[in-house]
Chains A and B, each alone.
Chain A
Amino acid sequence: MRPVAILDATLLIGDGRTMERGGVLFSDGKITGVGENVQASFLARKIVGQGRFVTPGLIDVGGSVALRFQFGGNAATANAADGFDRYAEDEIRAAWRDGVTTVCIPARTGSGVGGVGAVIRLLPRGQVDEVVLKREVALCAGLGLSGWPGPLSRARQAEDLRRRFHAAREYREAQEDYADSLKEYEEKLAERAKQANSGQGKPGAGGVGPGRGTAEQKDEKAAGKNEKKDELKKPAEPAQDRAAEMLLRVLDGELRLWVEAHDPAEVAALLDLAEELNVALVIEGATGAHLLADRLAGLRVPVVLTAAPTPLAYGPGPERYAVAGDAAELRRAGVQVFFGSGRLTGGAPPPAESVSGDSAAAPRLALRAARAAGAGFDADTALAAMTGSAARLLGVERQIGRLEPGLQADLVVWSGHPLAPGACVERVFIAGREVYHAEGAWPEGDE
């Protein structure tokens, strides 16, 4: 592939730093040079970046772009990557137009555990290994999003989630008991076979010392008694429960627990749960979480801000806790804050008209961040929260999220600062390929 050079642009590196008048070089899908004095080879395709801004492709931390499945409340083994429709080009294009190249898609569910979330690269019709950047990000659950809203159902759903984890622990204990008794059974079986064999030979052939011999004889006696009692019964194998095994991976610290909730009472219940079970928690949605900012900071629980579902009527839905200043308030307390587009279609499979053509919902990440900045959130931190910090949260920082040699060439050329009014996405590159080019964008400056 021909190398590409974007020159003389303002580079927003992705870690909060800005480089005025810099250049980015990339070839074969990876960034090869970033800096004020990068030298583009004469073969390279050159793009004049004057007045333009270049950012890493934005990461929608908690989106639902081209997500086609609503996960049931018991499907802990489901994976969101399987619900991603690689052929939903309209939706993917709408995301590009907003500068988004990667989406973390939680396995969304109304209540209970929905499955495992995945990090998806918005490469339409791409090969699975290109598209799925990380298959297992976190085990996802929902709280208070389905059923009759109210404190009782909320308390019950939190309790249900807690019970599932305790049930998973019991499952492990049962499995361990089974493993123990199976071992015992096999030992006995082996002994009996040995006895049957030693009918001809000497008993206690394996014994070395006198002490060992007597111990074995005692064991044999005891074993003999047992044999008479239960006829050497094979222990019953407990049913395998893959969902419980998934939950155990969370309890073992292998996977994060990612819960969508839109009520401070639910956030508080989740923090209690995380403390009790000692699991790594991420809270998505988090409407009203700013009321618990200090606790979230103390427990180091990151928060992914997504819009609360719109209430059906004018009643006091979760939006009554939604304030533009929540991001700034959380940040001031020391909470890590990220931005996501949330349930673009309200969770249910979207109606045909809203995903086809230009009706497709877009993530609008940059405007969400601008709004947070307007309420006091630092603009550079906001940019990092959509790029470098987001990649770190999701564990893909070695692949994407910054303008840095060696990382994937997923980047966006903007007509102005991404948070400024009227700024448009002009070009989007994924893996070095130009996947989007706005009409009327700046001409190429091929010399």
Chain B
Amino acid sequence: MSAGHTSSASRRGALACAVLMLGTFGVAAWDVPAARGQARSSAGRAIQAAAYVNEQGQMVAGGLLLIEGESIAQIGGDREASEAGDVPVDVYPGAVLSPGLIDCHSALAAAGDLSEREHALQPHVNARDAFDRYSHQLRLALVAGVTTFALAPDDRNLVGGRIAICQTAGPDGWPRVLSDAGPLKLSLSVDVYRPEREPTSRSGALGMLREAIETARAGVPQDDPLTAFAAGALPGFIAAPSGADVLACLQLGQEYGVRLVPIHTRDARRVSELASGQIAGVVVGPLDFSAGQRATEAAALFARHGTPVAIAGGLPAAPADSLRIGAALAARSGLAPAAARRAITAAAAELLGVGDRIGVLRAGYQADVVVFSADPLDLRARVLAVYVAGRRVFVADGGPQSGDVP
């Protein structure tokens, strides 16, 4: 008990230092994880706001959310209509509840580099091993509303390894790996071509990839990620910035039945129609304020042709709110607001293979909730509070002081 108390106090100090050093604004208070086993969240609690983002990404009125343990017990309606009589209620007048934001490709909290330089094929690598749960970057992402991120091998290897799905907080208040069985990371970006090793060209890269797939298919079935990928059992996130790269993904899918999700795609002009029905989805972004029209409208074009779209945030090289900036840019370039909200929540969860646990506000799902002062797509909206696995892990200045806040 006393050990738990000490650790939470020192953690509070460490966080305070990190935040002071970084000059983070607006962080007035945050919940320090109480001693383990004492979490109030297990007893059930309720959050009351004015509206919430539903499973389709629309903002609808009636933001009552009941939490039972780590999960959502009920969403929608208002307080009177619910049975939330005797549980503590955090009330946020006028606020909007959103699922926790999900960055589906990031290097957040990576200890060092996320690629091996020697060989272009690194299927056995798992990004989970690079996760630094004590990184100060995690707190910055959390207070911006990012509850989940895919820690992904970078774009420099043809096959970079396994993506790990991590959270900026967990049931005990600490960041954690939610799943180390994420998609395989591949890349067709120009970063793959390196003078010191193969491949050095685009045709070389595709040749190597085909060879790797064919070798995996011909060999004895093994329990390794490349075999699973080649058999179409494991999806692959493949960096495909240009339209030609997306086209190559479509061809590989047709030839070998591999399940590829193009990511970092910045051009949809000619391929968005061809991609329709061929891929599970596409990840555009990261989009920042200097992104051109072609990049910002890619999301809208893919969505128009029926391809689910997620938007990556590019943490930590980009600012912590870059997910929302990306969604706002895509919305200004024609992506429907509901699709833009889903692009940084539900669509990202589905493409990462965790769409049955997180990404939407639905009964039975993990209670990852961000309380915004307005529409999450409106950059004027502030993050008022963040809940992960039912626990309130951040509350902004002026938020309700009920619940876990000491």
Contact = CB atoms under 8 A, between A and B. Distances in A.
A375 B292 contact: no
B332 A328 contact: no
Given A314-B107, A319-B317, A419-B379, A94 B292 contact: yes
A97 B293 contact: yes
A361 B23 CA distance: 29
A441 interface: no
Majority DSSP secondary structure for residues of A touching B: loop
B332 A422 contact: yes
Interface residues of B, number: 37
Interface in B276-306: 288-295, 297
B404 interface: no
Contacts of B378: 370, 374, 420-421
Nearest to B382: A374
B25 A359 contact: no
A323 B26 CA distance: 10
B382 A375 contact: yes
B289 A376 contact: no
Nearest to B378: A421
Given A314-B107, A314-B317, A307 B379 contact: no
Nearest to B320: A324
Interface in A313-368: 314, 317, 319-326, 328-329, 341-342, 344-345, 354, 357-364, 367-368
A310 interface: yes
A342 B288 CA distance: 13
Contact of B293 (A310, A360, A367): A360
Contact-residue size bin, chain A (C-beta under 8 Å from the other chain) = 35 or more
A424 interface: yes
B110 interface: yes
B377 interface: yes
Given A314-B316, A374-B380, A421-B332, A358 B321 contact: no
A290 interface: yes
B290 A379 contact: no
Contacts of A361: 290-292
A358 B332 contact: no
A288 B23 CA distance: 8
A283 B291 CA distance: 24
Interface of A: 94, 97, 288, 290-291, 307, 310-311, 314, 317, 319-326, 328-329, 341-342, 344-345, 354, 357-364, 367-368, 370-371, 373-376, 379, 419-424
7 nearest A-B pairs in the assembled complex, by CB-CB distance:
A325-B25, A370-B379, A364-B289, A358-B293, A421-B377, A359-B292, A371-B379
Interface of B: 22-26, 107, 110, 113, 144, 288-295, 297, 316-321, 325, 328-329, 331-332, 337, 375, 377-382
